[in-house]
Amino acid sequence: MLALIASPLGRILITVSVALLMVAGAYIKGRSDGKRIARQGVLEESVKADADRRKVDAEVNSRRSADLCRSLGLPVDKISECVRRMEQANAGP
């Protein structure tokens, strides 16, 4: 066994084995880092979407029903129906 390790072929085999282990380690590390970065990106997008949703909710809740119906671009004859429905929805069940 020691004769194989000391021989030129043995040195080549050891070198190739070490190189393969290093490549495999780098691959596993890169894959792990990639997954972590992807999870972080998804989390950041989720937090941003939640903040945007809260901003829109605050804007909608602070507006009067008539103003909100007008901002939706409804025809003038449909605004009163929109206001009635919004008031009905706000009143609850």
1-47 pLDDT per residue, tens: 677 777 888 889 999 999 999 999 999 999 999 999 999 999 999 99
**Could you please report the per-residue DSSP string of 2-42?**
HHHHHSHHHHHHHHHHHHHHHHHHHHHHHHHHHHHHHHHHH
14-25 pLDDT per residue, tens: 999 999 999 999
Radius of gyration of the chain (CA): 33
Q: What is the pTM of this model?
A: 0.51
Sketch the domain layout of the chain as residue ranges. Answer: 12-62, 64-93
Q: Which residues have CB under 8 Å from 29's CB, separation 6+? A: none
Question: What's the confidence (pLDDT) of residue 1?
Answer: 67
